[in-house]
Structure 1
């Protein structure tokens, strides 16, 4: 088994949660072990086949010092404003799929700054909401803060 009950993990494109259990389930006549992941934001629970964890990119949450570096990059890094919309969207989507905290934070930062300059289109609004939720969910678990406090860490210097 890759993870243990109690591990804090991130599921790319979904967010961070805690493994509550490892259960054997029979689905379509096949028995398989599943991680039961309780997401840190909302009351959603995910069942993830143990054998598919690597392919899905599920990883442990980052440590405190990595999160501090991510927040520093978030607040002080500079976005690339030269890309046309379609390239920017593709690049941001690729960053979110990697599941890395830093790349997710870059997407949130760049879209929040862009939103200050002009309104985002509906695709970018959705992407910002999704990326923000993912980043906040990991902040909640890494920093041991509430969802509201995590949002404040992001909105702090950028809004």
Structure 2
């Protein structure tokens, strides 16, 4: 169970904070909800506490894991399929996994591919989504401004 003020990551939405824990009546049953607000989208979400495990809500990474994230961003050549459909599916699966290292993999590979060959519209949207999820979590962990975190990510990707 999370407490008010906990920094969490919701799959496909990114990092947010539990602003409140409320009880609401639904179908004549009292249900407890986490009220989540997301940094990047200003979205508010009511998540039933009983569904936390099923949806994959997790705490943000600790500072020690940040080094691993930047190591992934600095890794060598992209390791993705040349077939667009298989590559796209692989990236979507990694983002849905809610694993910060897999998401960093997607950002690195798509950002490098964008510089070398360009991206399709679908891949551009995927890159933006993955980058938003990655950066939103790093902002909460590092307690830095968006511009600074984005610059850190870009510098890491540029290193090979």
Alignment size in residue pairs: 158
Q: TM-score normalised to the size of structure 1?
A: 0.92
Residue of structure 2 in register with 1:64 after alignment: 63
Runs of 4+ in 1 over 3 A off after TM superposition: 27-30
Question: Are the aligned partners of 1:41 and 1:147 in contact in 2 as well (CA < 8 Å)?
Answer: no
* 2:31 corresponds to 1:13: no
Whole-angstrom CA distance in 2 between matches of 1:101 and 1:65: 13
| Cα shift readout 1:48-74 (whole Å, capped 9, x = no counterpart) | 111111010110011111011111211
Structure 1 partner of 2:84: 85
1:10-159 pair list within 5 angstroms = 10-158=9-157
- 1:140–1:150 Cα contact (<8 Å) kept: yes
Worse-superposed segment, 135-144 or 71-80: 71-80
Residues 78-112 of structure 1, C-alpha deviations (whole Å, 9 max, x = no match): 32144311111111111011101000010010000
Task: Output the aligned Cα RMSD.
Answer: 1.5
Mapped to 1, the partners of 2:100 and 2:137 lie a distance apart of 8
CA distance in structure 2 between the partners assigned to 1:70 and 1:157 by the alignment? 10
| CA deviations over 1:17-55 (Å, ceiling 9, x no partner) | 111111012235442111011112232211111111101
TM-score (norm 2): 0.92
Contact preservation (8 Å) 2:33, 2:49: yes
